[in-house]
Each structure stands twice: as structure tokens, then as C-alpha cells.
Amino acid sequence: MDGAEKSRLLKRWAVEEGFHRAGVARLGPAQHGAAFVQWIERGDHARMGYLERRHEERLDPRRLLPGGRSALCVALHYAPGRTTEPEGDLWPGVARYARGDDYHDLMRRRLEAVRSRIERAFPGTASRAYVDTGPVLERDLAAAAGLGAVGKNTNLLHAEAGSWFLLGELLLDLELAPDPPVADLCGRCTRCLEACPTGALPEPYRLDSRRCISYWTIEHRGPVPATVRPLLGGWVFGCDLCQEACPLNDAPAAASDERFELPERRAALDLVGLLRLRREEYLDLFRGSAMKRARLEGLRRNAAVAMGNRGDRRYVGPLAGALADEDPTLRGHAAWALGEIGGAEAAAALEAAAPAESDPEARSEIHSALGRLASAGG
């Protein structure tokens, strides 16, 4: 069996195990390795320090698998149709990939099934599987495997599937015939750059994580800077704005995987419920969810910010209650949100909480909110 026949066989197995598409790339130095190094040197990775480590492996995946020759790259589509957009004030603020099952677990199981078939058919084959957790430049490999072309929003784009898909890869020491790369799909279009409300796409093909809603709502720990909070809008976990603006995503032809649909047990949760969520409830409700990446503290903090940005006075009561929470970060963000919503009830809650607040940062947030309300006359 030659390399082309092996490639066709492995790609067919990948689809049979539940992936929507698969492609093969030859292992070697990363095509966009220099751009990655420059991205790190500019500080565009924000405080994601793990991206600074293991550069040698990221820049040449052969270092991850001695004798590695090829990568079987897979894509799993996740976006539900627009007619199934969830209702309420929480879930539209959650990136589509995170509403259902955690893609890491799902894709790892399917990659392991593919690997088992390879090992049975080609005994002694060495392999390494990755799903967004190892030192692999996934989009670089997937682009080399013909799964799409890197777009101006830095997502991988496909002519029929848009960018609503997740990536995984199986590094192999098998000699496989690579697939041809896909030509540029963006042309002169700059919709994604124009749609980003925070300027996180300052130029084509560059993402500045320090301005990215997904970074602030998922990766960042601790208080969100007050200057950043208004830019987050109603987003609680991630952001889909640059993808929604892409014309290739207007009507993606590819089917979604049903496991990414919002499950009933979480569908009823709203911003108030998330703000009030306790650890035991969180562990039960978000078991098997990618949203655990932000941790309970981050999700509750984000809920308070979203409430402040929505400006709905029905949130005043829950936010006032959060001023007595044990988490000082949440207390500070709740104070900020009350200052944004305004009104006599919000002012009264802040004034009542101020004398008892012992945390310097939370106390400063309360006084800042009161100052804004006084300046606004409410």
C-alpha cells in the first residue's frame, strides 16, 4: 500500500469515527513559525505564559514524535443553525463551541479510535494525538493538510464549512501522501476586522489577545480592568463576532455535531442564576463543559460585567446581593455594574455596602461607582 492509498484509508477512518473532514500534512518546520515568534515577541499572547514555552516543538512538530513524518488532521463542525439560537440573556453570550459537550474529551475519544485502527492495520506505528492542549500550531498543520486557509481573523476558513469547526491532529511516523493546501478565501473582505468591537484584529491575520473578548472572559484571572469591561458587552464566555461577520459563515453547508447543542439541564440558566451559582451547583451543572476553563470565579465575574453592560434595572437586586459575597473580585465587579445601571436603588445598595467592605480594591470599586452615580445625578 503506497502513501496515497494510506492517506485515503486514514481519512476515511477519521470520518467513520465521527469527524466531518480529514486531511494529511507532511511534518516539517511550521510554515508560519516566524509569524508566531513575532506574535509572542509583541506580547499579543497577553498573559498566556504557556504559549511562551516549548517553542522548538511548536516551530517543528517533528520534535514531538521522533521519526514523525505525517500528520492526520481532523475537523469537527460545531455550529448549530441560526434557527436554534438559544433564548434568554446568558447563552447568546457564550461562544457556540462551548454550549454543549467539551470538545477536548469528545475529539480525544474519536482520535484514539482512529489511532487504534491504525495500530491494528500498521503494527508498530508510533503516534501522538493532540486536541488544543499540546505545543502544536494546529492551524498551521491543518492549513498544510488542506482543511482550510487562514483567514484575516486568524481562524481557519473553509469554503463550505466557514470557520465553525474545531481541530485535532494525530502525528504519525507513517509516510503518507499530503493533501494540497487551500487558496486564500478572504480576498479583499475585511468584515471580521470591522466587526471586532475591541480592536483585537488591528490588521489582517493578526490577533492581539490583550484586546480580545475571548481572552478576557476565558483566560484572564482576577479583576477585569475597568476600561475593558464596557467592551465585553454581553459576552460571558468567548466571542463569535468575527466569525459571525464572515460571509463564509452566512450559511455553512456542513452539518453540526449534535453534542455541541445546548443541553436542557443548562438551558434554563440565566445571568442571575450564574451570578448566584454556588460551587456544588457549578460542579454538577458544568460537568463535561468547556466553560469550566473560566472557573466559577471567572464566570460569576463575567455575569456581573454583562449585567452592567446590559443596564437592565431588574439586575439591581441580584447585584446588590453580590456585594456581600465572599469573593472580593465579584463584589468589586458587582459594584461597577450597579454604577453602570444607576438609579436610587443601586445607589442605596452601594452606600449600604461601603462601610462594611474590607477589601481595598472592592471598596475602591464601590466609591468609584458612587462617584459615577453622583456625577450622573442618579
Q: Which residues are catalytic?
A: 132
Say if CB 298 and CB 221 are below 8 A apart. Answer: yes
What's the grid cell of residue 65?
514524535
Q: How many helices (H) and strands (E) does the chain have?
A: 16, 6
Q: How far apart are CA 168 and CA 130, in angstroms?
A: 6
**Rounded to an integer, what distance in angstroms lies between the CA atom of residue 222 and that of residue 343?**
28
Instruction: Collapse the DSSP code of 280 into the 3-class scheme (helix H, G, I; strand E, B; otherwise coil) and give the result.
Output: helix
Cell numbers linked to 262: 445546548
Alpha helices in the chain (DSSP H): 3-16, 33-42, 55-59, 103-121, 138-144, 191-195, 213-214, 241-244, 264-267, 271-275, 279-285, 295-310, 316-322, 328-341, 344-353, 360-376
d(CA 232, CA 211): 10
Which residue from 291, 288, 262 is spatially nearest to 274, judged by alpha carbons?
291
| 325: Cβ contacts below 8 Å, ≥ 6 apart | 331, 334
Quick one: DSSP state of residue 25?
A: E
